[in-house]
Every structure is written in structure tokens, then in C-alpha cells.
């Protein structure tokens, strides 16, 4: 008999979590202005708000914390991290930052100017925010298959080459500082980009003289999907695949809180010496000296270990299999989710789930709140609230997909938790026709509103 799969780790420490009553949750949600970001962690039973910085570190990472060098300049921990990043990415220069959006802020301060356009595959919220706050424009060139949740396309994060070339033809070269490839593509459902597509994007971009940068928060998960789904890649290691992927670009930003397996941190990696020098100045202004950039030495030491662990097949198989396990449970219950299941999260289509809620009443936020009220599970809206208003017209932007994301922290929950989540969402689905009203906005910020928005029942 074939042995069943078992996780390649054992649990060494646990944290107690408390289940609350529905009455408590309804009161807490009301006090939070119906914005799940405003809840206290103690009010949440299973937290799927994000996979960013919420995972469990390994014993090797905890050991590395104790060897961190806290020197202000020239830290030994920086050298360890620099060598690891060079080995995995092939990029020469490293600038640590305190997290991924800080890396965007530093790099975009060098590259992005008023009136620029930055094409890519479904830019995430902070990426788009950093572009738009500089009065530039993010243009989505994702393949159309990404917006059909039933389409089985294995690489829904791919860039449509025809859409991309239209951007290149419509704008002068000096107004396109770079093309951004997000791996995996979070906003389209944690979907991967193929090596074939990256290579084709590079060849097209080279013809127009446009460099490629990567948003690399989940690059290891992307490499796993390439190994599992792309013909000719099945016998390569994750590190080999990742290094080839990065060879098609000139630099990257990284939120290390995802595939770095740490609780805080980020970095920029580059091959261009001049851009490195310019970005170094902004690092010093915004973050700290260039050899720590907002990170403690101990966190850089843990990150160096985490990057190596995250690019091992056994870890990725365990991590992504758990996400797939939850996704398949929901599919069996008839829940409309983005298919194939993504790397870091399961994405529910709220338009199919709650057809009675109009777009202007934010159906994805409505569904996220119902899931919390049902079982104390905190998720996040990836829909109209996140899409924000057009910066010029101030009209709501309605994305093609109105999603609720169930982001699974790494090495944190068991499959029993996944079973609990699935049944809770089925319970909401069974009473979906009773949910007739959504929410109205009481107050919102001018940009990145979904983090702090205040709502009331419609």
C-alpha cells in the first residue's frame, strides 16, 4: 500500500486561539465600521486576512535570529543575505527595506515620473498606489483567461503580448520606464506566470527598449507551478527555475513576508549600477543605511535562511497542497472559486456567490463580513474597495472579478482548520439568498482606501 502524504515538518510550539460567539462577532464588526482590518487579532479565530508576515518560522530561522549582526553599516547579516539573494536571483546589488511596499517606494522614486505608464499583469494594491500617487498610470495586460474563473488555463498570471504591444505602440519609450511582472499574480487569484511567457515578454520589450522588473513576493510559489505545469520544466529544481525567471528582468522588488518566510522585511535587487546608486539615496532617506534599510540584522539573518527554505520543493509541495486542499473542499460544496487554485490563497467569486448584492454595495466586502460573522474567520476583499476610485474622475473602478481572498499563512494552520473554513463558507452559501443588502461607504481615504474605509449597512 502506498503511504499517504505527510507534512515535511513537525510542530514544536503552539499558540492558543479562542472561538467567540456570533453575538460577540456582530458587535465587534459593527464597532470596526464593518472593515475587517479594524478588528483586533483576539477577535479572530482563523486569520486569513493575509499570508504576509503571518507564517511560522523554522527552528533554523529562529537560530539565525540569535546570530544576527546589528552593526549599523557593513553587517555580517547583510552579507549573508546579499550572498543568498545573488545566488537565487543572479542580481548583483541588494538594498534591504522594511517590507515590500517600502521597496516599491524606493525603486519607484527613481523610475516613475508624472505621466508615465507602467504595463503589467494586474498590479497589486500598493503597487498601483505607488504608481498613481506619482501621477502615473498602471495598465493591466493580463490574459483574458484570468477573468473567467472556470477556465482551466494553467498560467492565468501571463501577460497578453498583444495588449502589451498596444501599450508600447501607444506611448513614447521615455514614458514607459519598465514593464512589471508580478509572480505569482495576486490580483488574478494567486496565478502563476510561465517561463515561456516571461521570455516572450522580454523579447517583445527588448524590441521597444523597455526593461522588465519583477514584483517577486511569491516567486518561489510561481517556480513551483512552472515545475508542475510547464512542459520541459519537471526535472529542474525550484532554484534553477527561479534563477532563469529573474534572468529575463533587470531587477526586482520583494516583500520578504511571503516567500522569504519571515515576519517583516523586504528588498530591492538590481543589476544596474546607476539605478542602484540612485535608489541607495532614497533608501537612506526613507529606510536607513544601505546595508540594513529598515531591517534588524537578526531579521536579515532569518531571511537569508528563509529564502533557501522557501525554494525547496518539499516545503512548497506542503504549502501549496494545503491551499489546494481547501480549494477542492470548496469546489465540492459548489462554491464558485478561481480555478485552478492559486499558490497562496483561494479566491471566491462574490458576484456568483451573492448575486443579489449590487456592485455599488460591495458584494465581496459583504461576503467577507458574512464569513466572519458565521465563524470568526477573517478574510479580505479583492474587489471594488481595493480597486479604489479613478484618481482623475473619482468614480469607483469596478474590476472584472469581485473576489474574497482566503490567504493561508505558511506552516501555521492544520487541515482540520481548512475543514472548519470550508464548512463555515458552505453555511454562508446555503443562506446566500437571505443576504439582500450590502454596505455604503461612510468615510474613505483618497488612496488605498480598503485598509481604513468605514462602512455602514445599506
Identify the CATH number of the domain in which residue 343 sits: 3.90.1150.10
Which cell numbers hold the place of 64?
539565525
Residues 6+ apart with CB under 8 A from 420: 46, 375
Final residue before a domain boundary, out of 293, 310, 327: 310
416 inside domain? yes
Q: What are the two backbone dihedrals, phi and then psi, of residue 257, each rounded to the nearest 5 degrees?
A: -75, -5
Active site residue 231: no
Active site residue 224: no
SS3 category, 185 = strand
- The CATH number for 194's domain is 3.40.640.10
Q: Given this model, what pLDDT does residue 125 score? A: 87
Taking the CA atoms of 93, 240, 320 and 228 in sequence, report the sign of the dihedral they define: positive
Helix or strand run (H / E) with residue 203:
helix 195-208
7 inside domain? no
Residues 221 and 351 in one domain: no
Q: Given this model, what pLDDT does residue 188 score? A: 86
10 inside domain? no
Residues 45 and 179 in one domain: no
Active site residue 413: no
Which residue among the candidates 34, 124, 168, 439 is catalytic per the annotation?
A: 124
* Cβ-contact 38, 32 below 8 angstroms: yes
Q: Which residues pair with 180 in a beta bridge?
A: 120, 213
Residues 71 and 214 in one domain: yes
What length does the chain have?
A: 458
14 inside domain? no
Q: CA–CA distance from 149 to each of 156, 191, 217, 281, 400 (Å)?
A: 10, 11, 23, 43, 11
Q: Given this model, what pLDDT does residue 123 score? A: 94
12 inside domain? no
Final residue before a domain boundary, out of 273, 292, 310: 310
Active site residue 200: no
Integer Cα distance of 428 and 433 in angstroms: 10
Integer Cα distance of 299 and 284 in angstroms: 19
Split into its structural domains, the chain has a count of 2
Which cell numbers hold the place of 97?
527595506
Which residue among the candidates 227, 258, 339, 344 is catalytic per the annotation?
A: 258
Which residue among the candidates 9, 22, 30, 72 is catalytic per the annotation?
A: 72
Active site residue 258: yes
Q: Which residues pair with 347 in a beta bridge?
A: 405
Q: Given this model, what pLDDT does residue 52 score? A: 96
Residues 73 and 222 in one domain: yes
Domain that holds residue 262: 59-310
Residues 245 and 356 in one domain: no
The angle subtended at Cα 180 by Cα 393 and Cα 378, nearest 5°, is 70
Q: Given this model, what pLDDT does residue 324 score? A: 98
Which residue among the candidates 98, 137, 417, 450 is catalytic per the annotation?
A: 450
Residues 222 and 263 in one domain: yes
Residues 72 and 196 in one domain: yes
The angle subtended at Cα 123 by Cα 117 and Cα 124, nearest 5°, is 140
Helices and strands (H and E) in the chain: how many: 16, 14
Residues 371 and 342 in one domain: yes
26 inside domain? yes
Active site residue 450: yes
**pLDDT average per 10 residues of sequence, the chain (458 residues):** 90 94 98 98 98 96 97 97 98 97 97 98 92 96 96 97 98 98 92 98 98 98 98 98 98 97 98 98 97 97 98 97 98 98 96 96 98 98 92 90 97 97 98 96 93 96
Q: Given this model, what pLDDT does residue 391 score? A: 86
Active site residue 213: no
Which residue among the candidates 56, 217, 242, 368 is catalytic per the annotation?
A: 217
Q: Given this model, what pLDDT does residue 47 score? A: 98
Q: Given this model, what pLDDT does residue 208 score? A: 98
Which residue among the candidates 215, 299, 349, 388 is catalytic per the annotation?
A: 215
The angle subtended at Cα 259 by Cα 258 and Cα 263, nearest 5°, is 45
Residues 377 and 439 in one domain: yes
Q: Given this model, what pLDDT does residue 432 score? A: 97
Q: Given this model, what pLDDT does residue 187 score? A: 86
Residues 369 and 301 in one domain: no
Residues 141 and 204 in one domain: yes
- What is the DSSP annotation of 106-159? HHHHHH--TT-EEEESS--HHHHHHHHTTT-EEEE-B-GGGG-TT---S-TTPB
Residues 288 and 335 in one domain: no
Final residue before a domain boundary, out of 310, 334, 354: 310
327 inside domain? yes
4 inside domain? no
Amino acid at each position: 500500500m502506498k503511504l499517504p502524504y505527510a507534512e515535511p515538518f513537525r510542530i514544536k510550539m503552539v499558540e492558543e486561539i479562542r472561538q467567540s460567539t456570533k453575538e460577540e462577532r456582530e458587535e465587534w464588526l459593527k464597532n470596526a465600521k464593518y472593515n475587517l482590518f479594524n478588528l483586533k487579532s483576539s477577535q479572530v479565530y482563523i486569520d486569513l486576512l493575509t499570508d504576509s508576515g503571518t507564517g511560522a518560522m523554522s527552528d533554523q530561522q529562529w537560530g539565525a535570529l540569535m546570530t544576527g549582526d546589528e552593526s549599523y553599516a557593513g553587517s555580517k547579516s547583510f552579507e549573508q543575505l546579499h550572498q543568498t539573494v545573488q545566488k537565487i536571483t543572479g542580481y548583483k546589488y541588494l538594498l534591504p527595506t522594511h517590507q515590500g511596499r517600502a521597496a516599491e517606494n524606493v525603486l519607484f522614486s527613481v523610475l516613475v515620473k508624472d505621466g508615465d505608464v507602467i504595463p503589467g499583469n494586474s498590479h497589486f494594491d500598493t503597487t498601483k498606489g505607488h504608481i498613481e500617487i506619482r501621477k502615473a498610470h498602471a495598465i493591466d495586460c493580463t490574459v483574458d483567461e484570468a477573468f473567467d474563473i472556470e477556465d482551466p488555463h494553467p498560467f492565468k498570471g501571463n501577460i497578453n503580448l498583444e495588449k502589451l504591444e498596444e501599450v508600447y505602440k501607444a506611448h513614447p519609450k521615455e514614458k514607459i520606464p519598465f514593464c512589471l511582472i508580478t509572480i505569482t499574480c495576486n490580483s488574478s487569484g494567486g496565478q502563476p506566470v510561465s517561463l515561456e511567457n516571461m521570455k516572450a515578454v522580454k523579447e517583445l520589450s527588448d524590441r521597444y527598449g523597455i526593461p522588465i522588473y519583477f514584483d517577486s513576493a511569491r516567486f518561489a510559489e510561481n517556480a513551483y507551478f512552472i515545475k508542475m505545469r510547464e512542459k520541459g520544466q519537471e526535472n529542474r529544481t525550484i532554484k534553477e527555475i527561479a534563477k532563469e525567471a529573474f534572468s529575463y528582468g533587470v531587477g526586482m522588488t520583494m516583500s520578504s513576508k511571503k516567500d522569504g518566510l519571515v515576519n517583516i522585511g523586504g528588498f530591492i535587487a538590481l543589476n544596474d549600477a546607476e539605478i542602484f546608486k540612485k535608489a541607495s539615496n532614497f533608501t537612506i532617506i526613507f529606510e536607513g543605511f544601505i546595508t540594513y534599510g529598515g531591517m534588524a540584522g537578526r531579521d536579515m539573518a532569518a531571511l537569508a535562511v528563509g529564502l533557501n527554505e522557501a525554494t525547496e520543493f518539499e516545503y512548497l509541495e506542503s504549502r501549496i497542497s494545503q491551499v489546494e486542499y481547501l480549494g477542492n473542499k470548496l469546489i465540492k460544496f459548489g462554491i464558485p472559486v478561481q480555478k485552478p487554485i492559486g499558490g497562496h490563497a483561494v479566491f471566491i467569486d462574490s458576484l456568483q456567490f451573492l448575486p443579489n448584492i449590487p456592485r455599488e454595495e460591495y458584494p465581496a466586502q459583504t461576503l467577507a463580513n458574512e464569513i466572519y460573522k458565521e465563524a470568526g474567520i477573517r478574510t479580505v476583499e479583492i474587489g471594488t474597495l481595493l480597486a479604489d476610485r479613478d484618481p482623475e474622475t473619482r468614480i469607483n473602478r469596478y474590476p472584472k472579478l469581485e473576489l474574497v481572498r482566503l490567504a493561508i499563512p505558511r506552516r501555521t494552520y492544520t487541515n482540520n482548520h481548512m475543514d472548519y473554513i470550508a464548512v463555515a463558507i458552505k453555511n454562508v452559501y446555503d443562506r446566500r439568498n437571505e443576504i439582500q443588502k450590502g454596505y455604503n461607504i461612510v468615510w474613505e481615504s483618497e488612496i488605498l482606501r480598503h485598509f481604513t474605509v468605514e462602512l455602514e449597512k445599506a
